[in-house]
Structure 1
């Protein structure tokens, strides 16, 4: 159980050598869900995009490829993730196309209406209060901007022993959908994908074009 608890803690907040290993394994489990999310967002070449909880930076690469004339901003709380993502995206960072910030998703250091698209993948069960993160995603989006929140099927994820050991915040789908709508998103819908690890939901919504 001690090992399971250690792995669970690393999944929530990767640190050090074990954290790097866990991030690599997590990326293998979530990269397909990341690609699916990128496709659902219908990213345009000049979009400015923000990703909350970028892990080792693999999804940052995907986003950059889809928006070669735009920019990608990443948010993380883990120093280990920052280090790995910085190496993986070094070229785009040096060219100013990617910027990585160590900060919390519920207190984004950006002005209102800064981004065209916002996403977060495999993070919803880490957030104690996901509604606060959704409100920040909504705030920093431009009018008519789009958001995507992707996370595993709860019933499948609950069976993963390290999750059980570390007690993630296993929010119900209906509660997450309500929090997403309450954050201000409109035209909301949830897509499902049972072909990725654990299965995945993706909540999609838009910021109203005008207040």
Structure 2
């Protein structure tokens, strides 16, 4: 039980050597979720993209490959993640193509309306108030910008024993969809993928054009 609790805490906020090992494992589990999310977002070569919860930075690299003429900005609460992602994306950071911040998703260090796309993958169940994060994603998107929120299918993920420890918020899909719409997104839809680990849902929406 102590081991499960330790794993659970690391899943919520990975740190240190154990955190680095866990990030490597998590990336193997979720990189297909990330590729699927990028496909659904229809990332374009000149897009400026935001990722919340970038982990070890593997998805930052993937997004930049698709947005080769744009930029990718990442936000994370884990110092271990920042260290790993900075190393993995060192060249792109030096070129100003990747910008990484140590900050929570509910208080993004960006001005209004600066990103074409925004995404977060496999973070929804470790955020107590995902609606606050969705509102920030909405704020920093340009008009007509698109957002994607991808997370494991709840019923499948609940079978993963570490999530039974404290600190996980296994939000119901309907509640997440309501919070996403309440943040202001329009043309919302939820896609499902049963071919990835745990299965996954991806909520997609757009920020309306205010003109």
- Structure 1 and Structure 2 fold alike (TM over 0.5): yes
Shift, 1:49, TM fit: 0.3
- What is the TM-score of this pair, normalised by structure 2? 0.99
- Counterpart of 2:99? 99
Runs of 4 or more off by more than 6 Å in structure 1? Answer: none
Contact 2:58 2:88 (8 Å CA) reproduced: yes
In structure 1, list runs of 5 or more residues that go unmatched.
Answer: none
- Counterpart of 1:28? 28
- Counterpart of 1:158? 158
SS at match of 1:180: helix
SS at match of 1:45: coil
SS at match of 2:124: coil
Say whether 1:169 aligns with 2:169.
yes
- Counterpart of 2:63? 63
Shift, 1:210, TM fit: 1.2
Q: Tell me the distance in 2 between the aligned counterparts of 1:165 and 1:109.
A: 31
- Counterpart of 1:53? 53
SS at match of 1:166: coil
- Counterpart of 2:110? 110
SS at match of 2:109: coil
Contact 2:9 2:167 (8 Å CA) reproduced: no
Shift, 1:7, TM fit: 0.5
In structure 2, list runs of 5 or more residues that go unmatched.
Answer: none
1:45-76 per-residue CA deviation (whole Å, 9 max, x = no partner) reads 11000000000001001100000110000000
- Counterpart of 1:141? 141
Contact 2:12 2:167 (8 Å CA) reproduced: no
Q: Tell me the distance in 2 between the aligned counterparts of 1:80 and 1:135.
A: 26
- Counterpart of 1:132? 132
Shift, 1:166, TM fit: 3.2
Shift, 1:167, TM fit: 4.3
CA RMSD of aligned residues (A): 0.7
Say whether 1:210 aligns with 2:210.
yes
Say whether 1:79 aligns with 2:72.
no
SS at match of 2:101: strand
Shift, 1:121, TM fit: 0.1
- What is the TM-score of this pair, normalised by structure 1? 0.99
SS at match of 2:51: strand
Q: Tell me the distance in 2 between the aligned counterparts of 1:201 and 1:153.
A: 6
